[in-house]
């Protein structure tokens, strides 16, 4: 029995053609998309409205504003937790915007795995696509 029968070879060829087309599109569109992605900024406000955090596309903190009213309730743990939660919500929204931006070229789940640094998940997804398990 051949490792790749006619149907398997045709499916593999179709996948290779799809990859080639996607790669070509990526080469053409990526520079502009990359610039748009780099410009992404998301600002979130804490639930009590006293903290405002702005992050970039990778969730890196760009700006943090703390309303002076936080000193009326001097609880450093509560303040730290509020800052952390606000920054995390902003980072998640920024990540979602990056995924959405690249979705025409890269499947959303694959992009999320890439952004999470989950190489195994990326490879598993690619293997599934190559085996026609999309």
64 with 88, same domain: the answer is yes
Question: What pLDDT, on a 0 to 100 scale, did the predictor assign at position 1?
Answer: 44
- What mean pLDDT do residues 35-39 have? 94
Domain that holds residue 123: 105-134
Share of the chain above pLDDT 90, in %: 47
92 with 43, same domain: the answer is yes
Number of domains in the chain: 2
Say if 86 falls within a structural domain: yes
Question: What's the CA angle centered on 21, arms 17 and 22, to 5 degrees?
Answer: 115
Question: What pLDDT, on a 0 to 100 scale, did the predictor assign at position 68?
Answer: 95
Question: What's the CA angle centered on 62, arms 53 and 102, to 5 degrees?
Answer: 95
Q: Say whether pLDDT at 134 is over 60.
A: no
Say if 80 falls within a structural domain: yes
Q: What is the rounded CA–CA span in Å between residue 70 and residue 114?
A: 38
Say if 89 falls within a structural domain: yes
91 with 129, same domain: the answer is no
Which CATH number do you get for residue 57?
A: 3.30.1310.10
93 with 109, same domain: the answer is no
94 with 113, same domain: the answer is no
Q: Say whether pLDDT at 84 is over 90.
A: yes
Both tokens of 87, joined, read: 């920054």
84 with 57, same domain: the answer is yes
77 with 129, same domain: the answer is no
Global model pTM greater than 0.85: no
Say if 17 falls within a structural domain: no
Residue 6: pLDDT band (50, 70, 90) is low
94 with 118, same domain: the answer is no
Residue 38: pLDDT band (50, 70, 90) is very high
């Amino acid at each position: 029995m051949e490792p790749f029968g006619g149907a398997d070879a045709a499916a593999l060829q179709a996948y290779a053609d799809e990859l080639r087309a996607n790669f070509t599109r990526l080469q053409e569109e990526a520079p502009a998309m990359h610039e748009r992605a780099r410009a992404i900024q998301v600002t979130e406000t804490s639930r009590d409205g006293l903290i405002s955090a702005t992050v970039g596309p990778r969730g890196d903190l760009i700006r943090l504003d703390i309303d002076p009213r936080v000193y009326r309730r001097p609880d450093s743990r509560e303040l730290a937790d509020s800052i952390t939660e606000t920054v995390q919500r902003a980072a998640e929204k920024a990540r979602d915007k990056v995924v959405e931006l690249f979705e025409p070229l890269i499947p959303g789940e694959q992009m999320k795995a890439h952004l999470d640094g989950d190489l195994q998940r990326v490879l598993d997804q690619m293997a599934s696509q190559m085996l026609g398990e999309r």
